[in-house]
Amino acid sequence: MGLRWGLLGCARICRRGLIPGIRASESGEVAAIASRDAANAKAWADEFQIPTAHGSYEALVADPNVDAVYVPLPNELHKPWVLKAADAGKHVLCEKPLALDVDEARAMADHCRDRGVLLMEGFMWRHQPRTLAVKKMVADGAIGKLKLIRASFSFPIDPADWRLDPRRGGGPVWDIGTYGVNASRLFAGAEPERVEAAGLFAPSGVDMAVAAALRFPNGILATIDCSFEQPFVCRYELVGTAGSILVPDAFLPPASGPIATLRTMETASDVGEGSDRHETLTFPAVDQYAAMVDSFARSVAAGSLEAPAEDGVAQMDVLSRILQAARAG
């Protein structure tokens, strides 16, 4: 029997990500779904043939037929429901960002550890075959020594969206800048020793656009930008001493199969002399949510998170430092 999942809410990401991902996985099944509106939970259960619909989050957390809980709730509700799920002995996959600040994230991770359950932040992109292949290429020296990471993620948002409410952990840093931070930390293989940032803020105080610069102790720099006011962009680029890898649709790869562009050159003196070589790399069209679900199941079986998963505490620390630096201006 695979890992039995309970979905704590009827969020958009359940429809487009977790439900099809769990079904496409080798290790999981959707056992239950909950909503504070019982009729809504029942409608989703009927639509997706989910065995059990709960009219409260408490009922789902207490369900003995649920092994793991997915928390897709608004950011300010992550901590209380992660703690309650852990108290009920459920493993937890929590949507990013893990918390509202690093203190919350640390308390959540410690609580889950004390209860003997796993907590993982839901960065599905880390489990893509493309991500793992690109990481290996960098480690194998395909672009020389990695020196710079660039990451951008932006889209215009509906003014009525709850993600513009600063009291609920709104703003693009928490919502999409988190991907650029995650990519930088993954490929740098370290935590930044210095963080600088500048931002644009709405009258409510919520960030609307932020650009950040990170310096890692191993001599790698990263630049990250995110915005709720700019056209859609979603990419990262890894630049080394002998080439670069550009990854389009970085965190939302197309179903037809993700690609990347490898650019290499013989020596630095070749720049401008027409000796650059460009190669388009194609990767398997794998459901990244399914890959994340299977990774989580393996982690549960092993009793610890398998790489490249993480519990989100270090990630939240960097996000907090970026937003603090942007506000200090």
Name the residues annotated as catalytic. 96
Structure letter (DSSP) for residue 144: B
Please state whether beta strands 243-248 and 194-201 pair in parallel, antiparallel, or not at all (unpaired).
Answer: unpaired
Q: Are 268 and 144 in contact (CB under 8 A)?
A: no
What is the C-alpha to C-alpha distance for residues 307 and 131, in angstroms, rounded to an integer? 12
Q: Are 74 and 162 in contact (CB under 8 A)?
A: yes
Long-range contacts made by residues 75-79, C-beta under 8 angstroms, separation at least 24? 75/99, 75/100, 75/168, 75/169, 75/170, 75/174, 76/100, 76/167, 76/168, 76/169, 78/104, 78/108, 79/104, 79/107, 79/108
What is the C-alpha to C-alpha distance for residues 92 and 121, in angstroms, rounded to an integer? 9
Cα separations in angstroms, 238 against 141, 143, 180, 204, 317? 12, 8, 12, 35, 23
Q: Tokens for 56, please give them.
A: 């409260």
Burial category of 161 from C-beta neighbours within 10 Å (exposed 0-12, middle 13-18, buried 19 and up): exposed
What is the C-alpha to C-alpha distance for residues 170 and 173, in angstroms, rounded to an integer? 8
Q: What is the largest CA-CA distance in the chain?
A: 67
